[in-house]
Structure 1
């Protein structure tokens, strides 16, 4: 004889095998960048949906995503030394990630809005500090491959100008890690080198 208790137990057992549980998250998307600075923008855009790797043999504007190489709007080496370019570069990264994983496009969009909102405040503070930079308004030789940084600080890059500040020689060449926090620390070091 089938009792109510036996029937409920059997129904529950069948239901747990037929009704799918929560979806298992897909493996994170592997994205390879040429520098940790660009990798930091990838990490900010992708969040937990990406794993960033570094391969210095990639071109300065290239990302390898799911085995294919894609170009990001990084027109010059060191473009991200001027963090005002980061949201635009991030938008390019978001477009690439969304094309590869359209199911995560809304997540990438939300990530972009979240990190750029707070990042813009940092850029405004750095702008204010660089307004008093000793290179502002001067013609400076780009001795250390920092044209974007010098231009952001208000210098005119000129091969016949004054020597670059010696502190630029000691400034970091890349972020310590592919994280937004590391990129912020990197830009902070660059700003200090021009104060």
Structure 2
């Protein structure tokens, strides 16, 4: 299990466990200094554990956040869970959500423009690398009888290097490059 700790806050930080650093990045963006993120791959792909209870933040799609257009919606789900666990910090979680999503959406628009020219766009691609959300975002049709995924996709990272928004942005950037 990996732990990521933000700066100290006045109250005891809320312990949140996630299955991947990518999902941890969204939790960290929503919670800021009020959360400590732990990574435990044994959790379901879209589950987080807060104060001992497991909550689902989305349909159980392993690669959900490979399409960053889902991140604000997942973040809203995380915000609701964190606010229920710490109602005294609900306004902080709301402010954090607005702050990170406003700048993140601009990044997504840039990635959308780049993927509009992807060589996989409109092609039938086999999802042999478990990257259905990414392939669909790039405009490919996931089809078991399609052509193989681009070789660069096999070399793309499977998770962010840290549970931070900056690391998540770098992760998505690497995914986008693998399809250009």
TM-score (norm 2): 0.94
How many residues align? The count is 172
Distance 2:137 2:100 in 1: 21
Partner of 2:142: 157
Greater Cα radius of gyration, structure 1 or 2: 1
Distance 2:53 2:73 in 1: 22
1:48-93: CA deviation from partner (whole Å, max 9, x where unpaired): 0001000000111211111111111143110000000000000000
Residue 74 of structure 1 contacts residue 89 of structure 1 at CA under 8 Å; is this kept in 2?
no
Residue 80 of structure 1 contacts residue 86 of structure 1 at CA under 8 Å; is this kept in 2?
yes
Distance 1:140 1:26 in 2: 49
RMSD: 0.9
Alignment of 1:1-195 (within 5 A): 25-195=10-180
Distance 2:49 2:62 in 1: 18
Deviation at 1:171, TM superposition (A): 0.3
1:149-185: CA deviation from partner (whole Å, max 9, x where unpaired): 0000000000001111111110000000000000000
5+ residue gaps, structure 1, are: 1-23
Distance 1:131 1:51 in 2: 37
Residue 44 of structure 2 contacts residue 60 of structure 2 at CA under 8 Å; is this kept in 1?
no
SS at match of 2:38: strand
Distance 2:115 2:92 in 1: 34
TM-score (norm 1): 0.87
**Which runs of at least 4 in structure 1 moved beyond 2 Å after TM superposition?**
none
